[in-house]
Each structure stands twice: as structure tokens, then as C-alpha cells.
Amino acid sequence: MKSVTRSLRILEAVAQHQPVTVGELTKLFGLPKSTVQRTLVTLNEAGWLRANRKDTTRWEIGARVLAVRPAALQGSSLFAAAREPMIRLRDALNETIHLSVPDALHSMVVVDRVDCDHAVRTFHAIGDTSPLHATATGHAVLAHLPKSEVDEFATGTLEGYGEETITDPKELRTELRRVRERGYAVNHNQYLQGVCAIAAPVLDGDGVPLAAVAVSLPDSRFEPGRLAELGQVVTDTAAEITARHLR
Amino acid sequence: MKSVTRSLRILEAVAQHQPVTVGELTKLFGLPKSTVQRTLVTLNEAGWLRANRKDTTRWEIGARVLAVRPAALQGSSLFAAAREPMIRLRDALNETIHLSVPDALHSMVVVDRVDCDHAVRTFHAIGDTSPLHATATGHAVLAHLPKSEVDEFATGTLEGYGEETITDPKELRTELRRVRERGYAVNHNQYLQGVCAIAAPVLDGDGVPLAAVAVSLPDSRFEPGRLAELGQVVTDTAAEITARHLR
DNA sequence: GCGCTTCATGCCATATTGTGGAACGCCGTG
DNA sequence: CACGGCGTTCCACAATATGGCATGAAGCGC
């Protein structure tokens, strides 16, 4: 359904650029003015958008969006289970900690974050997405999916983002085996340059991967000699979240 | 745009009932199966929905929503301005405090909450909506809207939710005058039974109502003799939020 | 094990619905 | 005062979503 898909795209764009005008959005999407205009009015009538109070030609996200909460955040699930262990991990390492979940189409989405206090630190906003095949959290999740799902996903040539990105499905599969063996995934310059991340999966009772916790730090502070140690504490944290989540 | 409006309704219904099946949604909306099905698939492809991992015929909200959610909060810089005063108000009364904003369609939406520590307390989740004409926060906002907007809204018979709901537009208007005079609004059993709330508006520089702060408590703890006192502290808090928001 | 019901999913002719080019009206500027 | 930029409205056309029906899979009782 074309109009629905487009409306959601426009909604996301408004969230990114708010408060934004019709004209700015038409340029962004290359669509006819009237089409964008109509979409904005519809979204407004549904309460998902609203006109800015000061400048009524500018649009921003309406409060109605708050009524829609992802399953991953509901009640006492993951989100609540993860908070404390994440804070402890941050305290132990003084590096930024992320919780990410896989989404419908081959992305990891940042769901929660606990910041470190270094002046130089990595930054991913809540809601940011990154490709499954090129991030530590993505690998942590992929490594625990049924082979059939990985096969379906890892086909052809995967998109590259730099020298280090694994673009060959075969190579990806051997990397995933390594991740399973040692329990954690490592990403160094595969997606964002200058960033290093170490991630471990949070699993369901049945071994289904629900999310991944990661520590993320700038190149400049990464000491290869400490990798095993970091991998261990991240894995322990993920295990603790899993345990808390199950009970 | 019919399909867009309907898709958003369905999205909200999924959020409310997740994880939910196609059949349940068709009953809920009285729409043809194929229409609902198609909508779900479209929303899924956009990442806003996903199939439940255990039971793939059940749908739940996808993580993509998170890309938009934070914008709904930061959109109103109110959120930041209100936090501290709300916490102080909670500390003073040890009752639950809410911040709500009006949305496009005659509802108030809960935007933030600070909890008390009583075992028995009222509960409204962030994102919950309630009707403008039957809540304290709604009255606080309505009382400061231009008369034309109130007239447009308060027409015919308003929906009732119990004995106490004001359903007559005329009666509502006199109540709103009282709210303006004393500065705060009171709701006792108008919408939810057993709940009492006292709210005051947060205004713009131009006197336009942006939101309302409310203290909300169970019947059992409400002492009518303390109403004036409670009204005063809530009004003071609202005034403080207004002041912080302006500078 | 076999028919029966229930439910999700796929198909396709139809007309309803959204499309987008063009025109309008408002406002600030040269 | 004319011009250009911008948001908004209009309307004939056809692309698009619709929903009744058919299919297929899964659960249940006999």
C-alpha cells in the first residue's frame, strides 16, 4: 500500500527534522507538494502530527505516538531487566553501553543506552538503526538465529561500509560460528569508522535471540590485549539480563 | 486518505492488544479479513510491526517506532522544564503527578509521570489518552482555550462515563468558568471511578494552554477539606513550569 | 485416520481512492 | 506595484486499494 508506506516515511522524516515545513519535505522526497501536503493533513487528523504553536506552517510529532509502545519495551520485559545490569557494566568499564533489538528488516535498533563520562565517546541515539551484518550486536543476534533464517538473509553480496565490512555470506557464516564459540561478537570499523564494539546476545528460554548488549568505545581507547576480558564481562552481563528476564 | 487513517488505527489497536491475530483485529474493526491482513503486511514491511517469535500469526509493535518516539517528547521542551517541579510536588504530597498535553482529537495524552510510594495508587501509563471534557487536565486546558474552540468542541451531548461526567455543554461552560476563577480543575469520578485528580494549566507566553499538571489519588485518600490547599500547590507548580519553560 | 471447522493467506475484477499538475491567495521584497 | 516563494485547494484521470472468494494449513472431535 503505497500511501501508507509513504506516510510512515514522512512521519519518520518529520521526527528527524522537526519542526519542518511542507516545502522542506517535498525537496527531501522529491514528491509533488500536494501529495506531501495531503499526507501531513491526514497524519495531523489522526493525532500523529501537529502544527507548531509558534509557526503553524511547521509540523512536529504529536503526542499520540506515545500510545504506541514496542513489545520490546513493555512491562517488566527486557527493558526493565536490562537496566541495572547495564548500569553496572558501565560502572565497571566506564564506556557507553547499548541495548539493541533486531527489527523486521535486517536492522538492529538501539533501545536503551547508558553513557560513560569520557569527553570522547561513541554516540548512538535511541531509535538509531544499523545493519545486521556489519555490527557487533547484529552478529550476536544472527549467530543464534536458526540456520534457515541466516541463509535467507545472507545471500548475494552484502552491502559494504568500509574495508572491514564482511560482504561475503560464506565469510559471514564462519564469523558467526566464531561468535557462537566464544560467546561474544566484535566489530572493529565494519560499519562506523573509528568505533569498536563488543556484544553478547540476550536469549529467550528457547534460545531465540531477543536482543544484544554491547559496549562501544572509540578506537583510541581500545586495547586489543583486553579483548578477552571485555568479552567476558559483556557476556556475563548478557547472561544476567537473560536470567532476570526469564524469572 | 482512508487507507492511511485506517492503518494508524490498526497500529494503535495492535499496540493495545499485542500480540494480536488478524482475526481478532477483523472482529474489532468489522473489516474484511483481506483488508486487515494487507495492512498488517504493509506495516510490517515498514518495520512498525513484527510477527511474534513464538507464534508467528500474532503481531506486535516493532522497534522502528523508537525512531519517532523520542521526538514526541523533546518536541515539547515542556518535558524538560516540568521534570523537577513535578518531582518536588510529588515529594511534598507523596501522590502521583502527571503531565498531559492535548492532542489533535479531543484527548489529553499523558506525557510524563512521577510516582508516589503508596501501595494503593492511581496508574496512568505514558501515552494513555483520556477525553478532554471528563478529566481535570482536560478542563484545565479547555478553560484557557479561545471561546470559539470550546464552542466547536462542546456541541450536542458529550459522552458520559459515569454519574459525575458533565455531558451538557452549557454545564461544561459554567464549570470552565469556575476553573478559570480559582486557577485549578477538579475531577472526581467523572471518567475513572474511584479516582480524584486536581490539575492546573501550563500556559504559553500568549496565554495559550500547552499542557496541564495534575496530582491524582485514590478516593480513599482524598480529604475534601484539603482541596483548597492541594489546588494551591498544584497551581504553584504549574506556574513554576510555565516560568521555566518561558526562559 | 478422516472429515469438519477455524484461521491466515493469496487472487483478481471492479470502482473507489489517491494522484499530481495547475491555479489560487497570502506575504514579504526589490 | 509587480514579482517570487510558499502553503493550500481543486479536479479529471487512472492507478490503487478494496473485499468477496478460493486456497491451504492447523487444530479438534468422532
3-state SS of A50-114? EECCCCCCEEEECHHHHHCCCHHHCCCCHHHHHHHHHHHHHHHHCCEEEEEEECCCCEEEEEEEE
Which of B220, B74, B196, B88 is CA-nearest to residue B137?
B196
For residue B95, the 8-state DSSP code is: S
CA of B32, C1' of C17: distance in angstroms: 17
Distance (Å, rounded) from C-alpha B166 to C-alpha B177? Answer: 14
CA distance A100 to A126: 9
| B126 in contact with A, Cβ within 8 Å | yes
Q: In this predicted structure, what is the pLDDT of residue A76?
A: 43
Q: Look at residues A199, A195, A235 and name the one whose alpha carbon lies nearest to residue A215.
A: A199
Q: Fill in the DSSP letter of residue B98.
A: E
Residues of chain A scoring pLDDT < 70: 72-77, 104-105
pLDDT the model gives residue A105: 65
State which fold the A71-246 domain adopts: Beta-Lactamase (3.30.450)
Closest CA to B210 of B171, B244, B174: B244
- Count, in order, helices (H) and strands (E) of chain B: 9, 9
In this structure, the number of other CB atoms found within 10 A of the CB of residue A191 comes to 20
For residue B220, CA distances in Å to B39, B120, B225 come to 45, 9, 14
* Over residues B118-146, mean pLDDT: 90
Higher model confidence: residue A165 or residue B75? A165
Q: Give me the CATH code for the A2-67 domain, please.
A: 1.10.10.10
Contact criterion met (CB below 8 Å) for B65 and B216: no
Residue B118 has pLDDT above 50, yes or no: yes
The region that residue B127 occupies, defined by phi over 0 for left and psi between -120 and 50 for alpha, beta otherwise, is left
Judge whether residue B8 contacts strand C, using its CB and a 7 Å cut-off. Answer: no
Of A44, A61, A103, the CB nearest to B63: A103
User: Which CATH code for domain B2-66?
Assistant: 1.10.10.10
d(CA B125, CA A222): 41
- Output DSSP code: residue A160: P
Handedness of CA A178, A179, A184, A187 (dihedral sign): positive
Query: Who's near A176: CB < 8 A, 6+ residues apart?
Result: A139, A142, A143, A150
| Between residues B148 and A143, the one the model is more confident about | A143
Is residue B54 packed enough to be buried (19+ CB in 10 Å), middle (13-18) or exposed (0-12)?
Answer: exposed
pLDDT tens for residues B76-109?
568 878 888 999 999 999 999 999 998 877 889 9
CATH code of B70-246, in short, is 3.30.450.40
Spatial separation of the C-alpha atoms in residues B230 and B241, rounded to whole Å: 17
What are the start and end residues of each CATH 3.30.450.40 domain in chain A?
Answer: 71-246
- For A94, A96, A218, A220, A231, the CA distances from A119, given in Å and listed in that order, are 11, 12, 11, 12, 24
Radius of gyration of chain B (CA): 20
Under an 8 A CB cutoff, do A64 and B109 touch? yes
Return the residue matching grid coordinates 543476534. A141
Compare all CA atoms of chain A with the CA of B74 and give the residue at the minimum distance.
A61
pLDDT band per the 50, 70, 90 thresholds, residue B241: very high
The CA distance from B153 to B227, in Å, is: 29
Residues 49-68 of B with CB under 8 A from A: 49-50, 52-53, 60-68
Does residue B99 contact residue B200 with C-beta atoms inside 8 Å? Answer: no
| B57 has a pLDDT exceeding 80 | yes
Contact assessment for residue A12 and residue A25, using Cβ atoms and an 8 Å cutoff: no
CB contact under 8 A, A67 and B127: yes
Q: How many residues does chain B have?
A: 247
**Banded pLDDT at B64 (limits 50, 70, 90):** confident
Helix (H), strand (E), coil (C) string for B194-217: CEEEEEEEEECCCCCEEEEEEEEE
> Which positions 75-94 of A are in contact with B (Cβ < 8 Å)?
none
pLDDT (mean) for B154-183:
90
